[in-house]
Structure 1
Amino acid sequence: MIEREPRRLWRNSPADAILLGLCIAQFAVTIALAALTPAGLWPRLGSAVLVTAMITYSVLIVNHMFVHQPWFNDARLNGIVSLVMSANIAQSAQAYHLSHVRNHHRYNNDRKRDGTTADFSSTYRYSRDDDHAPLWRYLAYSLVASIQEFAVTWASLRRLGGVGPRETTLRGLASRNPGRRAAELGQLRYDRLAQVAFTVLLAVLSWQWVLLCYLPSVAIAFTLVNVQNYYRHFGAEPDSRYANSVSYYSRLYNRLTFNDGYHQEHHLRPTAHWTRLREVAAQYQERLDEAGRVVSPVPPVVGFLDTGRIDRVAQRSSATRPTR
């Protein structure tokens, strides 16, 4: 009789247990803050700052790693993580997967064609010309889109969280395979219900905290996420596979963010686990160097400090803009 090897728990690496721990910790800390934050300006301000930091980090790092490479071999465990993650990031993790993996990584921050971009998060999408949109406009329009998504989630309660017939974007991104499509849209439904239930729980603990701390923190966190995305692509070349993104190679930053700084490498190999991104960098080093890509001297969330890049983009735009 041949004995079968026990199925491995972790899909890629036991190192993902660190990310799982961060996910669970954020969930617990958020509940504790709602229950225990005392009234008063400074306690609530401190609470809001912490929640903003946790949501921002979770969207950019923890959830981002998970949607590209789910942590477990067991789909049921990944489904449970998706529920907790959705509560943590105030949006469906499955919806994020569809928009980020199947849209952003397909079109790679493309320029406008026929008046718009195929990439819904492209830095060119809200521009009035062929250049990057100004940061303020990109952030304003992106925040409006996030608020609309938040409202759609709550409105979906009349369908028990299901994706409605008018949600053509999500339906268009879902798998065409009937089995996978049903699983993805089903997970999206459960994610939405988890997100709403979590918000209701926080409101039961302290509706004042939700209004004064939590909801403003969500809006600020989404804005910071969009700042990060903007400077991950600002000044890059969308049509070049080796220069369509911006990397940042600080050792400390990449240790704290699970190699998130290797963004060009991530776009080259979106399925590469975070533990292998340095190998991807080494593998493509020659081609990356030849491509004349942008390497940032600062983390992307403070990309506005890279004034040299901003000046170069402005000069390039002026040179290509037709004269009247």
Structure 2
Amino acid sequence: MSDLKGPDSAFFTPSDVIVLDELYRDINDHEASKGRNQPQIALDRLSGLADPKHPDFQPTVFCAWDAEEPKKKSSRTLRESILQLYINWARTVVRHETDVVFLTHIILYFLTTVPSALYLFYDFHMLHGIAHLLLTIWYSGAFTLMMHNHIHNNGVLSKPYAIFDWTFPYILEPLMGHTWDSYYYHHVKAHHVEANGPDDLSSTIRYQRDSVVAFLQYELRFLLMCWIDLPLYFMSKRKYDLAAKVFCSEISSYTGMILLARWNFKPTLFVLILPFVVLRLGLMIGNWGQHALVDEVEPDSDFRSSITLIDVPSNRFCFNDGYHTSHHLNPRRHWRDHPRAFLQAKERYADEGALVFQNIDYLEITFRCLTKNYMHLAKQLVPIGKQIGMSQVELAEMLKTKMRRFSEEEIAAKFAKFEVEEIKKRAEEKRVQ
């Protein structure tokens, strides 16, 4: 078995600590854990962390550190008192009381990115432009995953703030590298419908996923052709309204960038164009890592076509994005509920042969795949089920089999059930209409 170490809570989210404790308990006492009841104590602890009515509950206020239990008023410092006033107010603004961090980020972006962008158009300096671009890249991960929650749940703020909740993405998206609404159409209306299947525009199954050449083809197609591929996809599904909407959103975004570049090129380059290019490249690097390891037997299984990451920046800074399988199983599941959902279903994950990693994020997984470093991937794997007891070499060989490109004949055979379900779904939609 690979050289595994137990949880080190220095950087973990509290939920990751609980989850990994349970997984390592299974690994270190495999025989005793067979048939063991669900870890109810751990599940209760995870429930308490996400339940506003539970005494252990604390909202997420910042990504970089966790809020402490509020002190009595008499013992608070001025800073702590101001912070608590903000938390109390913010909990009434956000849709879920856990999500104070979303409001924190929205305020942060409007106080930094927006004025910085405006000033660059007023008085451009190269150093300011570079600093602005670097800050945007730093922000883009958390912003994108905040929008990920926004598009799956139709907003992140409470009803009294619905107008602002609808409006702020149109201001911030272009500044963070997004085109208007395209993330919603591509991710919610296409990717989650197709689930990395044959018709998914971001599907990895037709590519050899440890090949640099294949990866570059994948990246370039998305970067250069998404503006037309996505409308054509919706047209092929007879969703003409979505095709028109996404085409208009893409073209209007590009038109805006072109017009601004003709008026004032340098600030447009650093404020809009470069963030757009960097984000689109980053999205596909991340998606490759999320769906590089696809099961050769059941590639249409959510358990076997996506992965789970624990103890990674994606969980600390990007709202539990590491629990990608859990997200595919239930795209509308709240981000704070992923650890509990994973732990509650860990026996199913084990039976399905799901892959769980620790201390390696999607970008590094993509890098390790492209450099064919299966041994490092195996080292970071947290074995579950039948994987427990396998040597690092055996795990590496197992992972290698999941990188292979699927032929069109294999796709037709292995996704036949998926296609039948899609045909039934379309027939039902047509009947309802």
Q: TM-score, normalised by structure 1?
A: 0.69
Find the aligned partners of 1:29 and 1:35 in 2 and give their Cα distance: 10
| Contact kept? 1:123, 1:233, Cα under 8 Å | yes
Find the aligned partners of 1:208 and 1:277 in 2 and give their Cα distance: 42
Aligned partner of 1:135 in structure 2 is 215
Share of identical aligned residues, percent?
Answer: 19
Q: Quick one: which amino acid aligns to residue 114 of structure 2?
A: I
| Contact kept? 1:243, 1:293, Cα under 8 Å | yes
User: Are 2:148 and 1:58 aligned?
Assistant: no
Deviation at 1:123, TM superposition (A): 1.4
Aligned length: 283
Aligned partner of 1:107 in structure 2 is 194
CA RMSD in angstroms, aligned pairs only: 4.2
Change (3 A) 1:243 1:85: farther
Structure 1 residue runs of 5 or longer lacking an equivalent are: 1-7, 111-116, 153-165
Secondary structure in 1 aligned to 2:307? coil
2:170 corresponds, among 83, 88, 91, to: 83
Pairing 1:120-269 to 2, within 5 Å after superposition: 120-125=201-206, 127=207, 134-146=214-226, 148=227, 167-170=231-234, 207-212=265-270, 214-237=272-295, 238-250=299-311, 253-269=314-330
| Contact kept? 1:233, 1:246, Cα under 8 Å | yes
What CA deviation, in whole Å up to 9, does each residue of 1:34-62 have, x standing for no partner? 34457665443332222223234422x11
Secondary structure in 2 aligned to 1:247? strand
Aligned partner of 2:348 in structure 1 is 287
| Contact kept? 2:179, 2:250, Cα under 8 Å | yes
Structure 2 residue runs of 5 or longer lacking an equivalent are: 1-90, 379-395, 408-433
Aligned partner of 2:390 in structure 1 is none
What CA deviation, in whole Å up to 9, does each residue of 1:86-136 have, x standing for no partner? 3344445533223212221122112xxxxxx211111135x389x998322
Aligned partner of 1:29 in structure 2 is 112
Find the aligned partners of 2:261 and 2:404 in 1 and give their Cα distance: 51
Find the aligned partners of 1:20 and 1:194 in 2 and give their Cα distance: 28
Higher radius of gyration, 1 or 2: 2
Q: Quick one: which amino acid aligns to residue 215 of structure 1?
A: I
Find the aligned partners of 1:254 and 1:318 in 2 and give their Cα distance: 28
| Contact kept? 2:231, 2:247, Cα under 8 Å | no
Secondary structure in 1 aligned to 2:222? helix
Change (3 A) 1:29 1:175: farther
Aligned partner of 1:18 in structure 2 is 101
Q: Quick one: which amino acid aligns to residue 25 of structure 1?
A: L
Change (3 A) 1:316 1:20: closer
Aligned partner of 1:296 in structure 2 is 357
